[in-house]
Structure formats: structure tokens, C-alpha cells
């Protein structure tokens, strides 16, 4: 296949792109579900085995790990998705190997430097986040053990972004959502129950899992580049860094938004409070992973559409998949908000007091999902500087809110800080893309899906929890009643939700196999942000 043919295959109709985004979303959602379940079980083992204080130490140490690893990516994950998809769309594929080697090499160098810095600074970092000498010593060893895994995690994230630029989600799903979380779970079980290695063993498990995840994504990329067809050579590394430079700072700020809240709780309050907040926040991880999954599946299509000025196709993809997001995720968060206290008890009875945190985070995520994919959409327009500004503004809001609320209202202040900062990022991105491209997520599918979810799950939630009380039975009855109403309404309004596209994708996938292979040539057909687990 020539580069020109590869480029022409990118010029797909909006319906074709919706089907491809659906395939990517479906696979990504399965991966996100596997990762979320594995993460939930892993966290449950840690909280039940080590208690609030032990969990707080673990969440704080992994927060430092995530901050360093995501900052070390240098924007390569989004940058490679953006540039690889555009180079393929234009037929300029001759420089793909050089681009990927350059981006991943820079990531490895910076991540190794940060790993060394973290190893040396571990005692000082641990002293800031703990109030007991024994806890300080344990935290120091955990930070050092986790530092070893920083280069592997950063490199695998960069390679995942490149793989998505090739139009497939399979490599990133396999590495980041299957191999890593399952390896973490197996090794944590081994450390906690077989080796009795304590929290240090858990930290070693985390680093080992990062290297296990790097192996499949690296192998896939090497094979994919070997099979690449020759194409034009128009690479400008200065253009790459002009886009990715602001994104590198955004990655650092975004990583701070993801994990700084736990560190602020540990600093202003106690290790036990950090454990309580960290466990409560983990309950929303599945929704965050699914949001990230669908955003990833849309990103290459949005990038190519914006490049060629096909804004109507971009709208169609965005409206349809955003409506599916609301259909799938709003019920999950409404149900979790009603059953928060019961679900938290799976982490241990002492964690049930964090139910108000979960309720607030669920409400925030319902709003965020309704606003669309936000920053992913903004980045695919090429406006990485606006994304950086938005993230900095959100980080300032989160830190200021935490400093104001944590000492005065306790750990719930961290939830308020998280909610306000995330809604701000999403809202600013929506406004910016509307100003520059007149594209937004608020189409009829989103409105219909939102109305259906509210009608199906709010009244049934209040009714079941009032009549039955809090508990597993109430959660089950709420889910059954809500799902029955939602299914009926979704069937009634299936055309407004464009579910025919999804049905065709899932039931007639084999008939589109050859077209898929042309768009994403790899050994077998199909198509493949996660938030770190």
C-alpha cells in the first residue's frame, strides 16, 4: 500500500469515523473495566490489610511516582497521537520512525533523571508527608522502590500515544489496561499474603508492573514500524516541540492535578486522612478510565478532521460518542452516589466515613461527562497552549481551595478542590474550541441521553434507598429498576442516540474487516488515558 493510499483511507465519512471510534471505544471500555476491577481489588487488599494509615502511606508514595512519571513524558503521549495521525492523514509517513525515536528517547532521559532525583530526595519527601518516624522510614523505602519504575511507566505512556496515532487502541489497552493492572494485582497479593513483605513489597510490585507493561507496547511498535510503507519526509522537530513543549508542561500540571490532592491531605492533615481520601477517590477511577478511553478513541479522527477542515464530521463523531458516554456513565455515577457508604465498606469498615467524598466526586463527574471530552478535543485542534493555560488555572484553583478548606473543614475540602478544578478545565476547553472552531459536544444525543439517565435513576434511587435503606439489596434494586426504565427509553429514542451505528459496529464488524485493516494495517483487524491506576 502506498502512502497516498494510506492517506486516502483517512478521508472517511463521519459515519465511518463514528464506527471506528465505536470500535476503539468498545475495546477501550473493556480494557478500562478490567483495569478498574483489578485496581479496585488491589486497593481493597491494601486498605483491608494495612488500614487507613498504611493506605495513606501507599497512596502518598504512588502519588509522587505518578507526578514524576507523567511529568517525564514531555507531552509525548498527546504529541505522538497528534503528529502520527496527521502524518498518516497527509501521507508524510517517511519520518515516523525518527519522530517516535526522538520523542521516546527524550522521555527516557528525563524520566531516568527524575528517578535518580526521587531516589536521592526520598528521605526529605517522606519527612514532609509523615508525622511518625517509623512511617517516615517506610515511606522513604517505598519512594525509592517506586522511583525505579518511573522510566518504564513514562516510556510505555509515550508509546501508547504513538500507537493510537496509528488508528489502533489494542496495544495501549493491552499494555496499560490489561498487563499492568493485572500484574500489579498478582504481585500485591504475593507481597501481602505470600511473602509478607509489607508496604515495601507493594511498592516493588508497582515498579515491576511498569516494566511488564512496557514489553508488549515496545514490541508492537518495533514490528509496526518495520511494516511501515515508505512515504514523504516532511518532519520538522521544531514543529513537534512547538506543539509538545506546552503539552509537556501541561502533563506536569495535569499530573499534579491527578495526585497532588492526596499529598496535600497528607501534608495538612494526617496519613490516615490521606488513606481515607485516596480510597474514596479510587471508587471513581472506573469512570475516569472510561472517559479517557472514549476520548482516546476519538482523538485521531478529530485531529485528522480539524487538519482538513471537516468540522461537520468532527461534530458528528463528538456528538454521537459523547451521547454514548452519558448513556453509559451517568447511571454508574448516580448509582455509586446513592450506594457510596455500602461500597466503601469493602475497603474496611473505617472507610465508610468517606461516603460524602464519593457523593461529591460523583456529582462533579456527572457534570464533567456532560461537558464532553474537553481537553482531548482542544488538543486535537492543535491548541496546546490554551490547554496549558487551562491546566495552570485549574491547579491554582485546586491548591488555593485545598489550603483554604483542608484545615477548616477536613478531608472533604480535598473533594471540593478536585471538583472545582476539573469542572474548570472542562468548561474552559469547551469555550475555547467553540470560539475557534464552532465545535462542541452539546448535540441532541447528549441531551436525550442525559434526560433518560436522570429519569431512570434519580427517582428509583430515592425510592429504593428510602424503602429498603442503605445496603447491597437497595443498590441491586436501584440498578435493576433504573436499567429497566433506561433500556425502554433508550430503545424508544435509539435513533436520536444514533445507536444504529453502535449496533452495526458490534454485529457486522467482520464485514468491515478489510476496510479497517487498510486504515490501521496491523497483524489482525480491529482498533484499540488513562489515568494511572
Provide DSSP, 58-113: HHHHHHHHHHHHHHTTTTHHHHHHHHHHHHHHHT--TTHHHHHHHHHHHHHHHHHH
Q: What is the pLDDT of residue 301?
A: 61
Task: Identify the three-state secondary structure at position 218.
Answer: helix
**Alpha-carbon gap, residue 121 to 145, rounded angstroms:** 13
**Alpha-carbon gap, residue 126 to 144, rounded angstroms:** 10
Cβ–Cβ < 8 Å for 342, 471: yes
**Alpha-carbon gap, residue 504 to 18, rounded angstroms:** 11
User: Residue 229: phi, psi to the nearest 5?
Assistant: -80, 145
Task: Identify the three-state secondary structure at position 401.
Answer: helix
Here the cell at position 418 is 478536585
**Alpha-carbon gap, residue 202 to 198, rounded angstroms:** 7
Q: Checking phi first, is residue 471 left (phi over 0); if not, alpha (psi -120 to 50) or beta? A: left
Q: What is the pLDDT of residue 124?
A: 93
Q: What is the pLDDT of residue 217?
A: 93
Provide DSSP, 36-66: HHHHHHHHHHHHHHHHHHHHHHHHHHHHHHH
User: Residue 243: phi, psi to the nearest 5?
Assistant: -75, -45
Q: What is the pLDDT of residue 530?
A: 44
Q: How many residues does the chain have?
A: 533
Q: Which residue has the cell 491547579?
A: 395
Mean pLDDT in each 10-residue stretch from start to end of the chain (533 residues)?
A: 41 52 61 83 90 90 89 84 78 78 91 94 92 87 94 92 83 88 93 81 92 93 78 69 80 83 92 91 74 60 64 72 85 93 89 92 92 73 80 94 95 95 90 78 84 95 87 92 95 81 49 40 34 46
DSSP state of 210: H
Cβ–Cβ < 8 Å for 216, 175: yes
Q: How many CB atoms lie within 10 A of CB 116?
A: 12
Cβ–Cβ < 8 Å for 254, 84: no
Q: How far is CA 219 from CA 159, 174, 393, 526, in A?
A: 10, 12, 39, 18
Task: Identify the three-state secondary structure at position 403.
Answer: helix
**Alpha-carbon gap, residue 433 to 431, rounded angstroms:** 6
**Alpha-carbon gap, residue 434 to 428, rounded angstroms:** 10
**Alpha-carbon gap, residue 490 to 486, rounded angstroms:** 6
Q: What is the pLDDT of residue 401?
A: 96
Cβ–Cβ < 8 Å for 81, 161: yes
Q: What is the pLDDT of residue 286?
A: 67
Query: Could you tell me which of 527, 10, 21 has the C-alpha nearest to residue 307?
Result: 10
Here the cell at position 519 is 486504515
Burial of 56 (0-12, 13-18, 19+ CB in 10 A): buried
Provide DSSP, 417-460: HHHHHHHHHHHHHHHHHHHHH---S-SHHHHHHHHHHHHHHHHH
Q: How many CB atoms lie within 10 A of CB 23?
A: 24
Q: How far is CA 28 from CA 75, 167, 234, 297, in A?
A: 21, 13, 32, 8
DSSP state of 349: G
Q: What is the pLDDT of residue 19?
A: 56
Q: What is the pLDDT of residue 10?
A: 41
Amino acid at each position: 500500500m502506498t502512502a497516498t493510499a494510506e492517506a486516502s483511507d483517512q478521508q472517511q465519512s463521519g459515519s465511518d469515523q463514528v464506527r471506528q471510534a465505536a470500535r476503539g471505544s468498545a475495546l477501550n471500555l473493556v480494557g478500562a473495566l478490567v483495569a478498574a476491577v483489578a485496581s479496585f481489588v488491589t486497593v481493597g487488599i491494601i486498605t483491608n490489610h494495612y488500614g487507613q494509615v498504611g493506605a495513606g502511606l501507599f497512596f502518598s508514595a504512588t502519588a509522587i511516582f505518578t507526578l514524576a512519571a507523567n511529568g517525564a513524558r514531555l507531552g509525548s503521549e498527546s504529541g505522538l497521537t497528534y503528529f502520527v495521525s496527521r502524518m498518516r492523514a497527509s501521507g508524510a509517513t517517511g519520518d515516523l520512525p525518527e519522530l517516535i525515536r526522538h520523542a521516546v528517547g527524550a522521555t527516557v532521559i528525563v524520566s531516568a533523571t527524575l528517578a535518580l532525583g526521587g531516589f536521592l530526595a526520598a528521605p526529605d519527601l517522606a519527612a514532609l508527608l509523615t508525622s511518625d518516624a517509623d512511617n517516615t522510614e517506610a515511606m522513604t523505602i517505598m519512594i525509592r522502590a517506586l522511583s525505579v519504575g518511573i522510566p518504564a511507566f513514562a516510556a510505555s505512556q509515550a508509546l501508547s500515544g504513538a500507537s493510537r496515532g496509528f488508528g489502533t487502541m489494542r496495544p495501549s489497552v493491552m499494555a496499560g489496561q490489561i498487563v499492568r493492572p493485572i500484574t500489579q494485582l498478582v504481585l500485591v497479593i504475593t507481597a501481602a499474603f505470600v511473602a509478607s513483605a509489607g508496604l515495601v513489597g507493594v511498592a516493588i510490585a508497582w515498579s515491576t508492573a511498569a516494566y511488564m507493561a512496557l514489553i508488549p507496547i515496545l514490541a508492537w511498535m518495533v514490528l509496526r514500524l518495520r511494516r511501515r510503507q515508505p512515504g514523504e519526509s516532511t518532519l520538522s522537530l521544531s514543529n513537534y516541540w512547538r506543539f509538545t513543549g506546552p503539552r509537556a508542561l501541561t502533563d506536569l500540571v495535569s499530573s499534579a492535578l491527578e495526585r497532588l490532592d492526596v499529598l496535600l491531605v497528607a501534608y495538612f492533615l494526617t496519613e490516615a486522612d490521606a488513606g481515607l481520601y485516596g480510597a474514596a477517590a479510587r471508587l471513581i477511577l472506573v469512570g475516569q478510565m472510561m472517559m479517557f478511553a472514549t476520548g482516546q478513541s476519538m482523538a485521531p479522527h478529530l485531529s485528522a478532521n480539524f487538519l482538513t477542515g471537516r468540522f461537520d464530521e468532527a461534530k458528528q463523531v463528538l456528538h454521537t460518542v459523547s451521547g454514548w458516554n452519558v448513556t453509559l456513565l451517568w447511571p454508574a455515577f448516580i448509582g455509586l452516589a446513592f450506594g457510596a457508604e455500602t461500597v466503601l465498606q469493602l475497603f474496611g469498615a473505617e472507610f465508610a466515613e468517606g461516603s460524602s467524598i464519593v457523593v461529591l466526586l460523583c456529582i462533579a463527574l456527572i457534570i464533567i461527562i456532560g461537558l464532553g471530552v474537553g481537553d482531548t478535543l482542544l488538543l486535537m485542534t492543535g491548541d496546546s497552549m490554551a490547554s496549558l493555560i487551562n491546566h495552570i488555572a485549574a491547579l491554582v484553583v485546586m491548591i488555593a481551595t485545598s489550603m483554604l478548606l483542608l484545615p477548616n473543614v477536613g478531608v472533604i475540602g480535598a473533594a471540593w478542590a478536585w471538583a472545582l478544578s476539573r469542572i474548570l478545565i472542562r468548561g474552559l476547553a469547551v469555550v475555547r474550541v467553540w470560539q475557534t472552531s464552532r465545535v462542541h459536544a452539546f448535540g441532541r444525543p447528549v441531551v436525550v441521553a442525559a434526560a433518560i439517565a436522570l429519569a431512570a435513576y434519580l427517582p428509583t434511587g430515592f425510592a429504593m434507598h428510602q424503602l429498603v435503606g442503605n445496603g447491597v439489596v437497595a443498590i441491586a434494586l436501584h440498578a435493576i429498576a433504573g436499567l429497566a426504565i433506561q433500556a425502554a427509553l433508550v430503545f424508544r429514542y435509539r435513533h436520536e442516540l444514533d445507536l444504529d451505528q453502535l449496533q452495526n459496529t458490534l454485529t457486522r464488524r467482520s464485514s468491515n474487516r478489510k476496510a479497517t485493516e487498510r486504515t490501521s494495517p496491523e497483524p489482525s483487524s480491529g482498533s484499540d488515558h488513562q489515568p494511572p491506576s
